[in-house]
Structure 1
Amino acid sequence: MEVTLLGTGDTTGTPTVGCDCDTCERARELGVERSRFSVHVRSTTGETLLLDASPDFRYQFLREDFDPPDAALISHVHFDHLDGLGNVYRLTRDMPLYAADETDPETGESVAQTVRRRYDYLDAVEVRPQSPFETFETCGLEVTLVPVDHPPLVCYGLLVEDPETGGRLALSGDTSFAIPGRSQEVLSDADLLLADGIVPAENCEYHPLGGRHEDDDGVPRTFGDKHMTIEGARQLGERLDATETRLVHLSHYIPAEQAFAEDMAVDGERFEL
């Protein structure tokens, strides 16, 4: 399967609108960007699956010269992963959309129900609820949703496998370092892990909640309570024994001299698994 990173940034992206910080300026100098998160997967059948619908959907698909996806999956209902779904209006006639069926105590409805309610005008989108840990097939791929830790809402990581090539793509989802053990087992041994890492651990001093899930050296692996630190994301890759780990959901608060390290993804990267 071919994996294209459509969007590798956080909720504001890099460069951030109206920002002249060193990191945003460095991104402009390098000619790279990190738009809001989304991943495009093409299986050996030629069918395509969109993982999360970035608000930058239109721009991303035009940039990569992609046709509308054959199917999509939504990991959780934060706007930077969901609101691009409205862009499929009049672009497709029949698109299955997969999302978890577990009821979120915070909202009283599942991710699948929230998507259907918010996008009830999209008659071409057929929401297909899925249970975590139960593998389903779409677009010639095998997909498994797993719960992660992104309070206060439910959120899911996922494993995508191509039965023809044996390629394994794992996404941590938006999460703290406290991913449940059963979920870690599913995500282990991937050829490529896309791990949520928003800022370096040193930035935890600026968060009202500080940092959590410190390692043996006292380095926080969670920034606040919703996202991993850069250090946490890297350690997750080691723990899950991923062949390659790329950090995503990166913010512009990473110091410019660190922000474009080799394992930190930028938009448009492609992988064959």
Structure 2
Amino acid sequence: MRVTLLGTGDTTGTPTVGCDCDTCELARERGVERTRFSVHVENDRTGESLLVDFSPDFRMQFLREDVALPDAAVITHIHFDHLDGLGNVFRVLDSLPVYAADETDPKTGKSVAETVSDDYHYLELLEVHPTTPLEPVRICGFDVTLVPVDHPPLVCYGVAIEDPETGAKLSLSGDTSYDIPDSSRTVLADPDLLLADAIVPAHLCAYHPLGGRHENDDGVPRTFGTKHMTREGALELADELNAERTRLVHLAHYYPADEAFEEPLAIDGEQYDL
């Protein structure tokens, strides 16, 4: 299993368009990027590739990293930075199976699968497969399981991807607060690599209108507002899941410049062989 981090940034990416903050300027100086979130997973046994989420930066990401176009895809939720790159497959692919959760979202009245089908009805090449969370499905030779996480007000899912032949395992927290259900944590546990949402460091919760939530015993917030984990929360989750290796993703340019490129914060283009 070869994992390529195509996009490791949040909804605006780093550098952010029109921003001259110290972090964005440092990213420009170093020639590094955190584009909108997407992960490419190649099965070297079958020669197939799975894409998790469709970044609006799809075209640039695939040209830059020179990885194979996906044979199938998983969509974790319907926010634009995870979905709106799907239109890029028009006249690029002949067919694409897309797996997305079949649970109805009380907020939208549709499942993620239904939203993908409706919003991209013009893409006849899509084969949308409604998928039941917590039930593994075989995709590209991998056992793939969607797990509910906490990203209000919309439903959202993390993903566990396992190679049944080698035992290699990749877990993605998805966009989530620290309040991930125990049943989902069980599925995500013991990965060789964990990609965990860590939008900002905990000390920046003071600047969020809602502050921080899910404080640990030392009073450190593990959730920023309501939707995303802090760096500290993501690292505590990694410990609880017994992750062999952790990379923090979905990172905002609000990280102070002297913290923004410290380990284990990821940047685009990183590759891992599991």
What CA distance in whole angstroms lies between the structure 2 residues aligned with 1:102 and 1:166?
Answer: 29
List aligned pairs for 1:226-237, cutoff 5 A: 226-237=227-238
Count the aligned residue pairs: 273
Map of 1:87 onto structure 2: 88
List aligned pairs for 1:143-222, cutoff 5 A: 143-222=144-223
Map of 1:34 onto structure 2: 34
Map of 1:24 onto structure 2: 24
Map of 1:243 onto structure 2: 244
Map of 2:105 onto structure 1: 104
What CA distance in whole angstroms lies between the structure 2 residues aligned with 1:55 and 1:213?
Answer: 31
List aligned pairs for 1:4-153, cutoff 5 A: 4-43=4-43, 44-153=45-154
Structure 1 residue 94: Cα displacement: 1.3
* SS across alignment from 1:195: strand
Measured against aligned partners, the alpha-carbon deviations of 1:64-115 in whole angstroms (never above 9, x if no partner) come to 1133210011000000000000000011111100000000000000000000
What CA distance in whole angstroms lies between the structure 1 residues aligned with 2:68 and 2:264?
Answer: 28
* SS across alignment from 2:158: strand
What CA distance in whole angstroms lies between the structure 2 residues aligned with 1:164 and 1:182?
Answer: 24
* SS across alignment from 1:199: coil
What CA distance in whole angstroms lies between the structure 2 residues aligned with 1:113 and 1:122?
Answer: 14
Structure 1 residue 189: Cα displacement: 0.3
What CA distance in whole angstroms lies between the structure 2 residues aligned with 1:6 and 1:164?
Answer: 25
Greater than 3 Å deviation, 4+ residue runs: none
Measured against aligned partners, the alpha-carbon deviations of 1:178-212 in whole angstroms (never above 9, x if no partner) come to 00001001000000000000011111111111100
- Report % sequence identity: 69
Map of 1:267 onto structure 2: 268
Which runs of no fewer than 5 residues in structure 2 stay unpaired?
Answer: none
8 Å contact 1:40–1:49 — kept in the other structure? Answer: yes
Superposed CA RMSD = 0.6
* SS across alignment from 1:218: coil
The one-letter code sitting in structure 2 at the alignment partner of 1:132 is P
8 Å contact 1:68–1:88 — kept in the other structure? Answer: no
Which runs of no fewer than 5 residues in structure 1 stay unpaired?
Answer: none
What CA distance in whole angstroms lies between the structure 2 residues aligned with 1:49 and 1:85?
Answer: 14
TM-score by length of 2: 0.99
8 Å contact 1:221–1:231 — kept in the other structure? Answer: yes
The one-letter code sitting in structure 2 at the alignment partner of 1:199 is V
The one-letter code sitting in structure 2 at the alignment partner of 1:242 is A
* SS across alignment from 1:82: helix
What CA distance in whole angstroms lies between the structure 1 residues aligned with 2:17 and 2:148?
Answer: 32
What CA distance in whole angstroms lies between the structure 1 residues aligned with 2:115 and 2:26?
Answer: 38
What CA distance in whole angstroms lies between the structure 2 residues aligned with 1:162 and 1:53?
Answer: 22
What CA distance in whole angstroms lies between the structure 2 residues aligned with 1:136 and 1:249?
Answer: 25
The one-letter code sitting in structure 2 at the alignment partner of 1:210 is G
* SS across alignment from 1:198: coil
What CA distance in whole angstroms lies between the structure 2 residues aligned with 1:216 and 1:184?
Answer: 20
8 Å contact 1:7–1:35 — kept in the other structure? Answer: yes
Structure 1 residue 131: Cα displacement: 0.2
What CA distance in whole angstroms lies between the structure 2 residues aligned with 1:212 and 1:235?
Answer: 14
What CA distance in whole angstroms lies between the structure 1 residues aligned with 2:106 and 2:70?
Answer: 31
Measured against aligned partners, the alpha-carbon deviations of 1:146-184 in whole angstroms (never above 9, x if no partner) come to 000000000000100112221100000000000000100
The one-letter code sitting in structure 2 at the alignment partner of 1:8 is T
The one-letter code sitting in structure 1 at the alignment partner of 2:16 is T
8 Å contact 1:112–1:127 — kept in the other structure? Answer: yes
Of 229-238 and 62-71, more deviation after overlay is shown by: 62-71
The one-letter code sitting in structure 1 at the alignment partner of 2:214 is H
What CA distance in whole angstroms lies between the structure 1 residues aligned with 2:235 and 2:73?
Answer: 27
